[in-house]
Amino acid sequence: MVTKKSMELKGWEFGKWFTGNWSTIKEFLKVGVPAIVGWVSTGNPYWAGAITLVGKFLLDLGEYYVKARED
């Protein structure tokens, strides 16, 4: 006979989840925020795409600058 194991969240911590998924969250913010801002400010998908590309480039450049200063 197979017994069902109940799904438990005992031991789950938001902080561990957040740090474990930080790279995904960061990439979503780097692409999602410029895309939303571009779409809301222009309403044009082409301009929203352009703003997203420029915004992601600037955020990547800023991250590179910060990491280079740490070294």
Rounded to whole angstroms, the maximal C-alpha distance in the chain is 61
26-63 residue pLDDT tens? 888 888 888 888 889 888 889 988 988 998 899 889 88
Q: Please state the length of the chain.
A: 71
Question: Confidence class of residue 67 from pLDDT cuts 50, 70 and 90?
Answer: confident
Is residue 5's pLDDT more than 80? no
Is residue 2's pLDDT more than 90? no
Average pLDDT over residues 8-21: 89
| pTM for this prediction | 0.61
